[in-house]
Structure 1
Amino acid sequence: MKEEKINIAIVDDHTLFRNGLAALMNEFEELNVIFSAGNGKEMQDILAKSLLPDIILMDINMPEMDGYKATAWLKENYPKIKVLALSMFDDEKAVIGMIKSGACGYVLKESKPREVLEAIQTIFSKGLYINELVSGKLLHSMANQKDAPLLSSREVEFLKLCCSELTYKEIADSMFVSPRTVDNYRESLFQKLNLKSRTGLVLYSIKNQLIQLQ
């Protein structure tokens, strides 16, 4: 018996990219592309009269309604639909913004089709795609809170501030410590949590409910 296909949709304002990605994804027997849209507003109109997708591949920068607003709207109105953010660049601020809006992961637009398929399947089965930002060890600790590493109150405070728009220097000022001390907090958390980036820290904070999403 064949496994049920994963229904996906693509929201991106670049027509050639959107159509090309749809064609590539339709080549995988595991996937079924049910619609594509040029922005969040168009997505809203289509969802009102379309079969609902399991996962939407969402561009970030779009006219009328961008990826942040579209993802937040989906989280509010269609919480069962998962979002995989599409990023042109490895832009930490943009990726963090999408995750805070409700995205379950992200892939770069330059990724190979097989990598995109892997991300879709992972979100479908596990609810989160964490690629190189976070290791499987962290995914395990997210699923098993009792296994989470012990963090100091200052490290937790630093984690929460990492989820803001503040730079590391501004975080240091807010915590009334030196930039070097903030660097030490960051490196200690990278080691404890087996992370590699600020985006990973934000993912950890969200999944462990250290911050509340809007």
Structure 2
Amino acid sequence: MNIRIIIADDHQLFIDGIKSILANELDISIIAEASNGLELINLLDSGKHPDIIITDIRMPVMDGISATKIISKNHPKIPILALTMFDQNADVYEMLEAGAKGYITKEVDRKELTQAIHAIVSGKNYFSKNLPVNYAAWVKAKLTENIIELTRREKEILQLIIKGRTTLEIAQELKLSKFTIDTHRKNIHKKVGTKSNMGLVNYALKNLGQSL
């Protein structure tokens, strides 16, 4: 597999250095470069299709964090690796919240840079070993927070909802009061984050599958 990269950094000397470091990597090629976040977004909108984006954080016109937010929304399949001289916690957290899959400092060597690229392209997260916090654990915690936990009863009721049963029909089938079913329905809608039955159906199809 040839890994196609777009690099965004406002220092051409640094971009040239990365290109030189990666020149001997036969499975990696740099297909474009940008000097700020806006140029990076314009490259994607013009039809460039990288397998990974490597971007600095502090850049003129548009910084890497702002660009990452936009790219994560408009091009969610393209992973982003932050490569910067800044290792403060606030910068790392902001970049991760924006959607970056990895964060490494400009102190890394060729071996770690290529490790980070391959890890992120394969769907993993990667963080510099010299960062002050275990961000891998933080990412895992964030993913756990986003898991929606439905109770056994809620799953049972959801199954009947997507089959088209009314609240009264569900109450009769489960031998529960209509008030109880209404309460469960409200809790399910709140957990899933939708107000419509169609939203519940879409959630069930995408997330629960055969577990219903």
Match 2:142 to one of 194, 206, 213: 206
Match 2:73 to one of 76, 79, 92: 76
| Structure with higher RCO (Cα < 8 A, 6+ apart) | 1
For 1:110-129, what per-residue CA distance to the aligned partner results, in whole angstroms no more than 9, with x for missing partners? 11011110000011113321
Q: Which structure is larger by alpha-carbon Rg, 1 or 2?
A: 2
Match 2:121 to one of 124, 147, 152: 124
Whole-Å Cα distance in 2 between the matches of residues 109 and 133 of structure 1? 11
Paired letter, 1:122: A
How many angstroms does 1:44 deviate by? 1.6
Match 1:34 to one of 31, 34, 39: 31
CA RMSD of aligned residues (A): 2.2
Aligned equivalent of 1:57: 54
Paired letter, 1:48: D
Whole-Å Cα distance in 2 between the matches of residues 131 and 61 of structure 1? 18
- Assess, with a 3 A threshold, how the Cα gap between structure 1 residues 40 and 20 changes in structure 2: closer, same or farther: same
Q: Is residue 104 from structure 1 mapped to residue 119 from structure 2 by the alignment?
A: no
Tell me the TM-score normalized by structure 2.
Answer: 0.63
Residue ranges of structure 2 left out of the alignment (5+ in a row): 148-212
Contact 2:126–2:136 (CA under 8 A) maintained in structure 1: no
Q: Is residue 25 from structure 1 mapped to residue 32 from structure 2 by the alignment?
A: no
For 1:135-175, what per-residue CA distance to the aligned partner results, in whole angstroms no more than 9, with x for missing partners? xxxxxxxxxxxxxxxxxxxxxxxxxxxxxxxxxxxxxxxxx
Residue ranges of structure 1 left out of the alignment (5+ in a row): 135-195
User: How many percent of aligned residue pairs carry the same amino acid?
Assistant: 36
Whole-Å Cα distance in 2 between the matches of residues 7 and 201 of structure 1? 28
Whole-Å Cα distance in 2 between the matches of residues 207 and 27 of structure 1? 36
How many angstroms does 1:22 deviate by? 2.0
Tell me the TM-score normalized by structure 1.
Answer: 0.63
- Assess, with a 3 A threshold, how the Cα gap between structure 1 residues 39 and 51 changes in structure 2: closer, same or farther: same
